[in-house]
Structure 1
């Protein structure tokens, strides 16, 4: 249903105008819709007067505010603005504009400005869409009033179909890697046409590379991280404009953010993400609680919209397809007890951008981890995964594992990855009661072997048998230098007696320290 737009008032001032501005002094810039102020965020551009004294305005923002879709052809530098009157086509640099009524010849042209965004002549395009445009000079600003028939997204709630259609192109699937190997996936979304995007920190944690896949199937590398907050589980990314295929993208579709502090219990919401890798799945629900505080003291939006593994980093939207949160987690063993990080934490964090290369985040946090407190032997205790013959355990600095051999020829593998050069110390041996005392005879102790391998079956370093402080025989590889990469610790036994290790356990303990 169309709704009458009584007034779309654009107040163009000179304070933030681009170099073509012909007016002097500081003038306020405002956009009013039915008397309500609508500010164009700085990252989307600013209206300005061009050399012909025509008002140019960011194309995508004003078109979407008016409820119109925009299709951009980078090759021809042409934008199609799909209005309720038909398609309006403008080409950058051209003074001809194709409209449903025919070709209009303008005294100015759409352009790509110094900020890299597409700008269009406001009056020509709005009048071509059937809207009435009037201009009035005030003391501190120039008022351009636009009125007519339009269906603005904030005039009425959007249907689920409309929300999906508007938001989906801005939401992507992200695949993360560690040393070239895919280790996980999640979701993310653009909040700016320049490739600024949002996901959860835990999606990119402990990874060296990431690639996103947009709804058109193109893949783009993640170049850098603009801001991250581990405690609030936020990561703001910068996506390369050059696809893996070589295609260069002028701008990305993006989502507008809303004020998450104004969200109320019972509000209708939508979640879009890639649960289980099913790209751009949409679910709906309500805000169950807008002030849910977790056990660790962090504030979340509790939502009823279903989300699953892989939804992390997805967009939580209001009824106008505006982002109000990042879908983050589910309460285990609960039904539709799901959590989202309020988007205001992102907008506030972007005030302190410190861009760093993507890989450097992992390096920084890894170094901080291994240079911090190191758990002593047996303090951070894990049991070997015995779910299958090919099971691989993942071991971190400070971890102690308890394992056993079900067969005399069994080899257990423990994998770790280091993004920086390190000195590794690994110790292991026969075990063991809860106090760490070892009671096997020396023959059994000496039969315990481990190697540090670059590949599963390529031994790189091995440990030596020594006597520990309690006089027990253990095998130790002390402060072995390792380049960045993935390694496997292979644990096995070497005794003729096939029953020597039956019903006996071993321990394996590793610590890492930075080599730089």
Structure 2
């Protein structure tokens, strides 16, 4: 009888310890850094899943999720390729963005899933695709994902016919080596004009009410100012020889930060889902604030003069009505609103939105506010 009582007590003592261990959040470590995220990795049926953004945004990708298609596009910031994948499918499209696009369809060993409002990707399947090393430490209750620019390029480039040799494709402006921060000339910056468009907003009778500028980021998302589209029923965008009509559909509109975003397409369904062709060219971005004295370029359509280029410097970082604002001297005018403010490496750092007449006082909204809005779309 005593042995039975003692056994029961031991079992009761062990149960809380075991339950406590199971409730501990699984940590994610990427390239030696613990990643802070609102959601943690999870293990389901012996498969480890990592929150999509926690993975891709910490290995130099820009990722956009399209909830209407349950799919995502991860664009590599340090090379000319992108990866498209869909929830509950192990088919992945890897495409080059160098010159004419080349796409390779690949079957990976796991499927992305959507759970409690978060997109998760199978860690081992994507490590195999990207040439990364992964491991699990049961004592620290952590998963490790180790990668590098060289490993990613050496694994992916051959799949889509990209050259591994450094500088082998320097005629393509999409390849900007962010490791070495190659400074671009004004002529090279000008090659990015096909990512910047002319915007006309119209009322419910189809009459134009205002005009401005805008630019594309990865995934066909088009950015302009809120005040360019305010009180409109839709916008027409002339971009790289194609005219897109938003038909009133948009993804975010923030009057406080004066930014607006829409996924451009030549056609939409009744729910605003993309059914047509979207822009394939886009600008890379840098969310870090520039420093006073940094050289910058503005591309927009001042006074309707499409794709005009000007250059200047950063003259200050201000806080206006609680919003961080970039002050610069790259000349803008009416019609420039919503255009791109670029650093000397070709990255968009701000959305041009205001100027003061009679002086070289121009302003832009930092691109970080745009990325914050895009991140909300996948939450």
**Whole-angstrom distance in 2 between the partners of 1:142 and 1:352:** 26
**Does the C-alpha gap of structure 1 residues 19 and 272 become closer, same or farther in structure 2, counting only changes over 3 Å?**
farther
**Does the C-alpha gap of structure 1 residues 278 and 67 become closer, same or farther in structure 2, counting only changes over 3 Å?**
farther
Q: How far off is 1:162 after superposition?
A: 4.2
Aligned to 1:265: 292
**Whole-angstrom distance in 1 between the partners of 2:250 and 2:290:** 28
Does 1:135 pair with 2:156? no
Aligned to 1:276: 303
Aligned to 1:248: 276
**Whole-angstrom distance in 2 between the partners of 1:91 and 1:214:** 27
Does 1:210 pair with 2:235? yes
Out of 47, 57, 79, the residue aligned to residue 67 of structure 1 is 79
**Whole-angstrom distance in 1 between the partners of 2:31 and 2:100:** 23
Aligned residues: 292
**Structure number with higher helix proportion:** 2
The answer to whether the 8 Å contact 1:188/1:273 transfers is yes
Q: How far off is 1:172 after superposition?
A: 1.9
Q: How far off is 1:330 after superposition?
A: 1.9
Alignment partner of 2:242: what SS? coil
For residues 258-277 of structure 1, give each alpha carbon's deviation from its aligned partner in whole angstroms, at most 9, with x where no partner exists. Answer: 335x3211122221222222
Out of 174, 187, 190, the residue aligned to residue 216 of structure 2 is 190
**Whole-angstrom distance in 2 between the partners of 1:275 and 1:223:** 24
Q: RCO higher in 1 or 2 (8 Å CA, sep ≥ 6)?
A: 2
**Does the C-alpha gap of structure 1 residues 196 and 289 become closer, same or farther in structure 2, counting only changes over 3 Å?**
same
Gaps of 5+ in 1: 1-7, 46-56, 96-107, 127-132, 354-516
**Structure number with higher strand proportion:** 1
For residues 227-286 of structure 1, give each alpha carbon's deviation from its aligned partner in whole angstroms, at most 9, with x where no partner exists. Answer: 434354x13232452349x981266544444335x3211122221222222333332221
Tell me the TM-score normalised to structure 2 length. 0.59
Aligned to 1:306: 331
Q: How far off is 1:111 after superposition?
A: 12
**Whole-angstrom distance in 2 between the partners of 1:279 and 1:312:** 12
**Does the C-alpha gap of structure 1 residues 213 and 271 become closer, same or farther in structure 2, counting only changes over 3 Å?**
same
Mapping for residues 64-463 of structure 1, pairs under 5 Å:
65-68=77-80, 81=96, 89-92=102-105, 108=107, 133=131, 135-139=133-137, 140-146=142-148, 147=150, 150=166, 152-160=177-185, 161-165=187-191, 167-178=192-203, 179-193=205-219, 195-232=220-257, 234-243=258-267, 248-249=276-277, 252-260=280-288, 262-291=289-318, 293=320, 299-334=324-359, 336-348=360-372
Q: How far off is 1:187 after superposition?
A: 0.7
**Whole-angstrom distance in 2 between the partners of 1:322 and 1:144:** 26
For residues 330-383 of structure 1, give each alpha carbon's deviation from its aligned partner in whole angstroms, at most 9, with x where no partner exists. Answer: 21111x321112233444456777xxxxxxxxxxxxxxxxxxxxxxxxxxxxxx
**Does the C-alpha gap of structure 1 residues 274 and 112 become closer, same or farther in structure 2, counting only changes over 3 Å?**
farther
Q: How far off is 1:40 after superposition?
A: 4.0
Alignment partner of 1:67: what SS? coil
**Whole-angstrom distance in 1 between the partners of 2:347 and 2:234:** 29
Q: How far off is 1:311 after superposition?
A: 0.7
For residues 143-163 of structure 1, give each alpha carbon's deviation from its aligned partner in whole angstroms, at most 9, with x where no partner exists. Answer: 343427656324213414444
**Whole-angstrom distance in 2 between the partners of 1:328 and 1:82:** 30
Q: How far off is 1:216 after superposition?
A: 3.1
Alignment partner of 2:332: what SS? coil
**Whole-angstrom distance in 1 between the partners of 2:279 and 2:110:** 14
Q: How far off is 1:134 after superposition?
A: 5.6
**Whole-angstrom distance in 2 between the partners of 1:110 and 1:252:** 28
Greater Cα shift, 208-217 or 156-165 = 156-165
**Whole-angstrom distance in 2 between the partners of 1:123 and 1:251:** 29
**Does the C-alpha gap of structure 1 residues 20 and 138 become closer, same or farther in structure 2, counting only changes over 3 Å?**
closer
Q: How far off is 1:304 after superposition?
A: 1.1
Aligned to 1:43: 64
For residues 153-179 of structure 1, give each alpha carbon's deviation from its aligned partner in whole angstroms, at most 9, with x where no partner exists. Answer: 2421341444444x4443221111233
The answer to whether the 8 Å contact 1:222/1:240 transfers is no
Tell me the TM-score normalised to structure 1 length. 0.45
The answer to whether the 8 Å contact 1:185/1:203 transfers is yes
Gaps of 5+ in 2: 1-29, 85-91, 120-124, 152-164, 167-175, 269-273
**Whole-angstrom distance in 2 between the partners of 1:138 and 1:71:** 25
